[in-house]
Structure 1
Amino acid sequence: MDRHAPKPLVIVKVGSTYPDIAAELGDFEHWIAAGLPEDAPPVTVVDPRAGDALPAADAVAGVIVTGSHSMVTDREPWSEQVAAWLRGAVAAELPVLGICYGHQLLAHALGGEVTNHPRGIELGTIEVERTEAAQNDPLFAALPQRFAAQSAHRQSVRRLPEGAVLLAGNRFEPHHAYRVGPRAWGVQFHPEFSAAATAAYVRAVATAAEPAPQVGPSEASATVLRRFAEVVATAAQPASG
């Protein structure tokens, strides 16, 4: 092993999109990787559902946990294993970004509560509003006060972990984003989803009985991935002195 090689940015793949969507547009890990800047650390994908081992926290530069069609409340063994690993990663101040299922799993891992959302699914391109605390957050400070984001979730973080800083929400989902400690974030919305991906989810999930969800661009929320990569790069720099 080359000790001088850059540590990888690990995508923990905890779910897959629908096969027809994947065939046309790719899968969650591809969308995440595409949203990272060109100078981001090399990306490695691990799938704990398939038995892949989770790396030691000191062997990676950062971690992004994908979305999933599974439910955190099912407490599947692989999911609980990732939750335990995330507790150690946060304690080690490894940069962590949990997306949708990853957002919920991170909250569960750190003592928060995840349940089915009482109003069902939040689907389509939605509006999210920053909190006052987000004005000084590395991922959210440069975002507009209100911004469009892509959404597809039925479960929700109903109670944040102790000490978590609420960063964004809306009337449907008050806990759309939070930070725990200096370098761990959860986002319920999907910064990696394009409008095409969201439109495909609307076709797959929405019913004729529901009002058709709106779908549009979400350039501002997509910058969360690039800013997370910047946090990862900064954290990876050796201390001076």
Structure 2
Amino acid sequence: MKIGILQCDHVREELQPRFGDYPQMIADLFAGVAPDCRFRVFRVQAFEYPDSLDECDAYITTGSRHGVNDGHTWIQRLEDFIHQLHQVKKRYVGICFGHQLMIKALGGEVRKSDKGWGIGVTVNQVLHTRSWMQPAQPVLNLIASHQDQVVSLPPTVDIDVLAGSSFCPYYMLACGDHFFSVQGHPEFIKAYSNALMEIRRAIIPAERIEQGIASLQKTLDDQLFARWAVNFFNAPGR
């Protein structure tokens, strides 16, 4: 399987020597469950896109420090591309920024949450299980790093809320058999999350930072999410 990585940002320069960049994080995430996957990176901030939607079997986004409502031309272009994927029902997995932009492209609303930053490991209840969410599990623990959230779903598109919490009700979503997204960062490792929180001490309240760092003691379900994503890519209904 060939997966197109839609790269929406870079890891901060000072952290790249330790943690690499986002495409490598995603490749590492899938290496344990689908070592035969091949990846092609499209730097969408530089307007790099496939010549054809069928150049890849499926697409996945990285996160981004930018917000989907920032008004940048490259974000509008990516939103248009996601809408094209929806029209032809091409498989797509949206991570964090890509989760939010997927919903925005379909007509929903995203804005900065009045609950503040989501950081560290968050616990989310699985509300609905699709056939490809195997092995099944009642909760999903992934690393978070976001201020914006999906606050309302598209009124004219059927969206399945797969997981959520009181902090983030629309945490994991699906649209038809072709779109699947999550607010969390399955590609982040705990050391990277910790380093990112330390760098952001000037902009995130100290109490929230300490809570986030303490939460890193929780078990992560990153490999479970990777398995679900691979099952989703391979599920019937293409």
CA RMSD, 1 decimal: 2.1
Distance 1:145 1:234, change over 3 A: closer
The residue type paired with residue 138 of structure 2 is: Q
Quick check: 147-156 or 201-210, which moved more?
201-210
Q: TM-score, normalised by structure 2?
A: 0.88
Distance 1:217 1:47, change over 3 A: farther
Corresponding residue for residue 61 of structure 1 = 57
Q: Contact 1:125 / 1:149 at 8 angstroms: preserved in 2?
A: yes
Q: TM-score, normalised by structure 1?
A: 0.87
- How far the C-alpha of 1:181 sits from its partner, in A, is 1.1
What's the secondary structure of 2:79's corresponding residue?
helix
Any stretches of 5+ residues in structure 1 without a counterpart?
1-5
Corresponding residue for residue 98 of structure 2 = 102
Do structure 1's residue 142 and structure 2's residue 139 form an aligned pair?
A: no
Identity value in percent = 22
What's the secondary structure of 1:73's corresponding residue?
coil
Corresponding residue for residue 166 of structure 1 = 161
Corresponding residue for residue 3 of structure 1 = none
Q: What aligned pairs does 1:1-241 form with structure 2 within 5 A after superposition?
A: 8-36=2-30, 37-131=33-127, 133=128, 135-138=129-132, 140-161=133-154, 162-206=157-201, 207=204, 209-211=206-208, 212=210, 213=212, 214-216=215-217, 218-234=219-235
Q: Contact 2:121 / 2:220 at 8 angstroms: preserved in 1?
A: no
- How far the C-alpha of 1:137 sits from its partner, in A, is 4.3
Quick check: 96-105 or 84-93, which moved more?
84-93
- How far the C-alpha of 1:147 sits from its partner, in A, is 3.0
Q: Contact 1:147 / 1:218 at 8 angstroms: preserved in 2?
A: no
Distance 1:84 1:218, change over 3 A: farther
The residue type paired with residue 153 of structure 1 is: H
The residue type paired with residue 122 of structure 1 is: G
Q: Contact 1:90 / 1:181 at 8 angstroms: preserved in 2?
A: no
Number of aligned residue pairs: 228
- How far the C-alpha of 1:148 sits from its partner, in A, is 1.8
CA distance, structure 2, for counterparts of residue 178 and residue 156 of structure 1: 12
CA distance, structure 2, for counterparts of residue 17 and residue 236 of structure 1: 35
Q: Contact 1:35 / 1:226 at 8 angstroms: preserved in 2?
A: no
Any stretches of 5+ residues in structure 2 without a counterpart?
none
Q: Contact 2:29 / 2:222 at 8 angstroms: preserved in 1?
A: no
Q: Contact 1:35 / 1:192 at 8 angstroms: preserved in 2?
A: yes
Q: Contact 2:177 / 2:237 at 8 angstroms: preserved in 1?
A: no
Distance 1:67 1:128, change over 3 A: same
CA distance, structure 2, for counterparts of residue 158 and residue 227 of structure 1: 25
